[in-house]
Amino acid sequence: MSASKLYFDVGVPANSAAITAHGLKLEPKLVSLSVNEGSIGGSIITANVQGVGPSTTGFDLVDSSGKSICQKVSITSYGVVECHTIASEIAADTQVSAKLSSTTYTCSNTDTTQCLYRQLSTSGFPVVTSVDISTGSMVFTGTGFYTSTYTANATFCNVYPDTLVVDSPT
């Protein structure tokens, strides 16, 4: 007799071993990603993954070849997975899957575009090459900064500025 599948929409309960010992298999369900495109320098994406919680271990987000797209994974609350993506190119239309231990689970959303992600060198994301705080101000140097029709926002070591001025695209 094969194991029956079960998931809890608010995460894995304490003492779940008592459930799995009776032939039930607990499975996560990847529903969506907060964004579908990020910076080649790495980004933070939030995944809606039903059936995982803060006590879940061995969890990752992977591409179709099984390679992790995350440098760091944190399960911040039940069903909420934060992935700090790798600083590398991730091909366009990469179908992201959830991986728990050695088992991979594909997107469970009927609209599988909700689980697509990419990080391309040709994307229009700014690239920061240096940060200078010696003058009492934060000065970011890089390329591709937006100078119009965009509300700028920046942070450095969890410090947010009172005001922010983008005076050139570099």
Q: What is the CATH number of the domain that holds 31?
A: 2.60.40.10
Quote the pLDDT of residue 138: 77
Mean pLDDT of 60-73: 97
The torsion of the CA quartet 153, 168, 84, 89, rounded to 10 degrees, works out to: 150
Q: Which of 77, 103, 119 is the last residue of a domain?
A: 119
142 in the same domain as 92: no
Tell me the residue range of the domain where 130 lies.
126-170
Above 70 in pLDDT, residue 13? no
134 in the same domain as 112: no
Phi, psi dihedral angles at 100 (to 5 degrees): -120, 115
85 in the same domain as 144: no
First to last CA, the chain: 63
- Rounded to two decimals, what is the model's pTM? 0.70
81 in the same domain as 144: no
Percent of the chain surpassing pLDDT 70: 79
Task: Tell how strand 90-95 and strand 59-62 pair up.
Answer: unpaired
pLDDT tens digits, 30-65: 999 999 998 888 889 999 998 888 888 899 999 999
The two three-digit tokens of residue 104, written as one number: 């991979």
Quote the pLDDT of residue 110: 94
* Of residues 31, 37, 71, the one with CA closest to residue 52: 31
Quote the pLDDT of residue 80: 94
Number of domains within the chain: 2
83 vs 23 pLDDT, higher one: 83
Quote the pLDDT of residue 108: 94
109 in the same domain as 30: yes
Q: Which amino acid is at 105?
A: Y
147 in the same domain as 88: no
Confidence band for 1, pLDDT divided at 50, 70 and 90: very low
Quote the pLDDT of residue 3: 55
68 in the same domain as 91: yes
pLDDT tens digits, 132-169: 888 877 787 887 777 666 677 777 777 777 777 777 76
Q: DSSP secondary-structure letter at 89?
A: -
25 in the same domain as 73: yes
81 in the same domain as 36: yes
DSSP string, 131-159: EE-TTSS-EEEEE----SSS-----BTTB
